[in-house]
Structure 1
């Protein structure tokens, strides 16, 4: 997995995140794939709502389709 430093994450625009609160950064394909995996985990653990999960999936797929 590609890692973002705190400075790199802070430099990303809000539009590079799948959810409000700057959650699930998806600036590139690697992060989009990771967001899909993490969101699935969090949904099954009960830490994400179905609506939040659907948003992450849609945003990640948009990044993946554009690459």
Structure 2
């Protein structure tokens, strides 16, 4: 997974974040999506976890949680 510097992060579309309104938990590639799921599980509220999971599964169906 490549590190995101500030400039690169500014150029990510809102739709490539697990929480697009807050621009939190980038999911622009599958590695970042997996990391977003792990981080929100550690630090996010239940509602944030559900929203990130929904957005990740919409973008990467292969990560769908059964």
**Equivalent residue runs for 1:1-67 within 5 Å:** 1-19=1-19, 20-42=21-43, 48-65=44-61
Are the aligned partners of 1:18 and 1:25 in contact in 2 as well (CA < 8 Å)? yes
Number of residue equivalences: 61
For structure 2, the residue ranges without an aligned partner over 5 or more in a row are none
| Partner Cα distance (1:2, 1:59) in 2 | 21
Deviation digits for residues 21-66 of structure 1 (CA, Å, limit 9, x no counterpart): 1111110101000001111111xxxxx2211110111112223227
RMSD: 1.5
| Partner Cα distance (2:51, 2:36) in 1 | 11
**Deviating runs (4+, > 4 A) in structure 1?**
none
| Post-superposition offset of 1:2 | 2.5
Q: 1 or 2, which has the higher helix percentage?
A: 1
For structure 1, the residue ranges without an aligned partner over 5 or more in a row are 43-47
Alignment TM-score, normalising by the size of structure 2: 0.78
